[in-house]
Amino acid sequence: MDDKEAAKAAKREARENADAARKAKYEARQAALKEKIALQKEVHRAKMAEIDARSKAVDEELKRKNAETVKNIKTAAKNMKDAVGELNVALEQTVLETRQEFASAKAQSDEEWKKIKSDFAEIGNDFKEAGQMISDSSKDLLIKGPLGEEKRKDIRSAAGSDKKLEKTMLKDAKKLEKARVEAERLEKFGKRIADEFFWTRRVCIYEKGYVSVRFLTGGPNFDKPEKLVSISSNSQVFNKNTSSLFEKLHGDLYLTIVTASDTYSLRNPRPDTGDVRRMNKLVATGQAVIGRDAPPPNADLSNNPRINTEISTELNKLNELHSSGVLTDAEFTAAKAKILGL
């Protein structure tokens, strides 16, 4: 009995010791856990403090940058305002200058338009004169061609009823009459050595000292040469624009041709370099055929300098005085003869 009791007591004591050991181990584990938690809390508090410090630093930096940005924006706005003000002033100045340039260009355009209208009016008058000249000259032409009505009647009578023979005879007679007229002209005037256009006129110079000035609308039957007394030119031009083919000029060309019966004062208001060359050739050829500054054989006369501009100017002034009625016909003829030394 006593042994059983002793065994039970020993077991009970062993259980109590085991329980005490488990409890001590549990308490030690809990103490270690508490210490670890406390350590983690300290670490967490340190990290949070560091985060707070960084956050405050970032906030301060953001505030500083925001303040700097606002300052820059205000500065930029002020600069933009100043630039807009300067731009408005420049724009107003540009608008003012543009208006002035436009007014000047409009005035110049109006002047040019007036000149163009004047030129067209002058061309219209020239064509009216050409029409009158054609009308007057047509009265001097042979009736129904170069043969005349009487010769045509003779040919019809000789041919009888043979129309084919009549047509052939008329054709041959026209050829013979044309050859006869050309031979007479060649004998009287010589060969045509210059044939150039000058604005609305065609000027032909012949080797025996004759010249013809006619409108472009007239055919060869209206080419009536006159004895050439003097020919001169004058120009008031300067370069306007240049292309690959020809050079336009701004200004006027003047050509004065004096014959035994008339004075022709011609003006070209729209010249180019080709017109200048043609005018120079006419002047040089005319001077050669009347015995002044005669060129060598086969010489190129297209680039010779213009001469006798003083005579041209005096004749132009004389024509203006005569046209305006200041000089009578007799006074005009006497003054022209004095200028030309006739």
pLDDT digit string, tens, across residues 142-182: 334 456 677 677 777 776 677 777 777 777 777 887 788 88
Residues 6+ apart with CB under 8 A from 155: 147, 166, 169, 170, 173
d(CA 265, CA 137): 21
d(CA 284, CA 305): 8
105's tokens: 């260009």
Strand, coil or helix: 69: helix
**Are 264 and 256 a contacting pair, CB within 8 Å?**
yes
d(CA 322, CA 147): 42
d(CA 144, CA 149): 7
Listed in sequence order, the DSSP H helices in 190-299 are: 273-289
Q: 226: how many CB neighbours lie within 10 A of its CB? A: 17
**Are 258 and 317 a contacting pair, CB within 8 Å?**
no
Strand, coil or helix: 233: strand
3-class secondary structure per residue, 113-137? HHHHHHHHHHHHHHHHHHHHHHHHH
Residue 306: its pLDDT value, please?
A: 39
Strand, coil or helix: 236: strand
Residue 304: its pLDDT value, please?
A: 40
Phi (first) and psi of residue 157, to 5 degrees: -65, -40
Residue reference for tokens 């701004």: 250
d(CA 274, CA 279): 9
For the CA atoms of the chain, what is the radius of gyration? Answer: 57
Residues 6+ apart with CB under 8 A from 321: 327, 332
DSSP assignments along 121-183, one per residue: HHHHHHHHHHHHHHHHHHTTSPTTTTT-HHHHHHHHHHHTT-HHHHHHHHHHHHHHHHHHHHH
Residue 146: its pLDDT value, please?
A: 54
DSSP code for 260: S
**Are 207 and 190 a contacting pair, CB within 8 Å?**
yes
pLDDT in tens, the chain (342 residues): 577 788 888 888 888 888 888 888 898 899 889 999 989 999 999 899 899 889 898 989 989 998 899 999 989 888 988 888 888 888 888 888 888 888 888 888 788 888 777 777 777 776 666 656 555 544 444 334 456 677 677 777 776 677 777 777 777 777 887 788 888 888 889 888 999 988 888 899 998 999 999 887 655 445 789 999 999 988 877 665 554 455 667 778 899 999 988 888 898 888 888 888 899 999 989 988 987 444 444 444 444 433 345 566 676 677 777 777 767 777 777 777 676 655
> Can you name the residues that pair with 201 across neighbouring β-strands?
198, 215
